[in-house]
Amino acid sequence: MSLKGTALVYDSVPTSELFVYYAGVTSPDDRSTSQPAADLLPSSERDFYRELGVRTFINAAGTYTLLSASLMLPEVVAAMCYAAKHFVDIEELQTAAGKRIAALIGCEAAMVTSGAAAALTIGTAACLTGENPVYVHQIPDLTGLKSEVIIQRAHRFLYDHAIRNCGVKFVEIETVAELENAISRNTAMMLFFNDNEPKGMIRAEEFVALGKKHGISTFNDAAADVPPTENLSKYLKMGFDLVTFSGGKGMRGPQNAGLLLGRKDLIKAARLNSAPNGDAIGRGYKVSKEAILGMVVAVEMYLKRDAAAETKEWERRIKLLADSLVDIEALKVEIFTPAIANHVPHLKVTWNQHSLNVSADNIRQQLRAGAVSIEAVPTYSYEPAADCEEIRFGVWMMQPNEAEIVAQRLREVFLQAVISSPSTR
């Protein structure tokens, strides 16, 4: 076994201190014993997930939908429980909630949607139909309507199917000249995928300016782009006509909720294209009274939280994970923060199988199968290194004491890999 000290810019936490948090926890492969940290156990007498045979885990990944995103704030849960006890008119509630959210964020208009992808569909529909009820009933049949959405080729992304649901065709461009040449009487909207801004040739400000120059609505998908807090209003102030955010990620609202923000006329049109209206493309995107009220409170809480203290705690957690691995010679340990989406500290661990004979998938499975199940960042969310093994971790969705558990388990799994690797014996 080969270990060494590594010259990093931060001070290491003695690994002996980590064992305090992990004492008594073994690593059987029986997933039925997997439990979250003790302080996450429900007060209810029934353990519903255990009854259903569903595994719970420590979220060392982030706000990924597949991993059930975030845990709602207690205030959000309380608001949803309150909403569940009363009947209201959904349209009236949506109007009142939109006014409150718009006032909080400082935008012209807002509505709660059933997620950011739903917002993409009904926002696009709004740009196609306006407030014309005939067009609202007609789409995705675009006969007589504009039918094209301009997008930078580098901005095509997994969820743009939500836009294509409206029947539109994407016109892909790369340069400003190509964009202006692509504009025609059929152009309904210009779409910008915020996280891919560095990959495209046209930056956000210029994209907005081109939309305004040609009288075309611009839509920015910023679903995973808070924190920082100021992003909630940044892109609207920049001039985008519509912006969407997920409600169940950084804001820790209901997972099946989102925000559509922007021009008053487009928000009104988006509501016509959505539930509770029956003959509309967004009829299936129903938002419950519980989700609407929960989202209002989520925005309130997000804007008043102590962002500096939050960041300081995330930095403490990520450092703890890094320190647990830093003296293992075969590993390269890197702390990084993504530039736009999921803009929080992450840990990237890479190694060469010639020096450590274990795959990233094997490490992932060992973490998942332990007495305390742990989920790492899913590989579909990034492009792993081609010339080495790679696994990533996020800490912002961890609960109290879980970073210590994850740090010790990481060290345990990787040290066992060192012992088992022929090249390190």
Cα 307 to Cα 166: distance, rounded to the nearest angstrom:
38
pLDDT tens-place values along the chain, 425 residues long: 443 333 333 344 444 444 444 444 333 334 344 444 444 444 557 899 999 999 999 999 999 999 999 999 999 999 999 999 999 999 999 999 999 999 999 999 999 999 999 999 999 999 999 999 999 999 999 999 999 999 999 999 999 999 999 999 999 999 999 999 999 999 999 999 999 999 999 999 999 999 999 999 999 999 999 999 999 999 999 999 999 999 999 999 999 999 999 999 999 999 999 999 999 999 999 999 999 999 999 999 999 999 999 999 999 999 999 999 999 999 999 999 999 999 999 999 999 988 999 999 999 999 999 999 999 999 999 988 888 999 999 999 999 999 999 999 999 999 999 998 775 55
Task: Find, among 241, 237, 234, the residue nearest to 216 by Cα.
Answer: 241
Q: What's the N-to-C CA distance of the chain in angstroms?
A: 5
The residues, any chain, with a CB within 8 Å of residue 319's CB and separated by 6 or more, are 10, 13, 335
pLDDT recorded at residue 44: 58
Cα 328 to Cα 351: distance, rounded to the nearest angstrom:
10
- Locate tokens 């529909």: which residue? 125
Q: Is the peptide bond before 227 cis (omega within 30 degrees of 0)?
A: yes
pLDDT recorded at residue 235: 98
The answer to whether 80 and 291 have CB atoms below 8 angstroms apart is yes
pLDDT recorded at residue 385: 81
Cα 400 to Cα 39: distance, rounded to the nearest angstrom:
8
pLDDT recorded at residue 383: 85
CB burial string 379-400: b at 16+ within 10 A, e below: eebeeeeeeebbbbbbbbbbee
CATH topology assigned to domain 74-304? Aspartate Aminotransferase; domain 2 (3.40.640)
CATH topology assigned to domain 15-63+308-424? Aspartate Aminotransferase, domain 1 (3.90.1150)
Q: Domain residues of the chain, as ranges?
A: 15-63+308-424, 74-304
Cα 59 to Cα 402: distance, rounded to the nearest angstrom:
9
The residues, any chain, with a CB within 8 Å of residue 390's CB and separated by 6 or more, are 348, 349, 350, 360, 384
Cα 339 to Cα 329: distance, rounded to the nearest angstrom:
29
Cα 180 to Cα 202: distance, rounded to the nearest angstrom:
12
The residues, any chain, with a CB within 8 Å of residue 209's CB and separated by 6 or more, are 239
User: What is the CB neighbour count within 10 angstroms for residue 180?
Assistant: 13
Length of the chain: 425
Cα 299 to Cα 100: distance, rounded to the nearest angstrom:
10
pLDDT recorded at residue 424: 53
Cα 294 to Cα 413: distance, rounded to the nearest angstrom:
39
The pTM for the full model equals: 0.89
pLDDT recorded at residue 203: 98
pLDDT recorded at residue 58: 98
pLDDT digits (tens, 9 = 90+) for 194-219: 999 999 999 999 999 999 999 999 99
Burial class (CB in 10 A: 0-12, 13-18, 19+), 58: buried
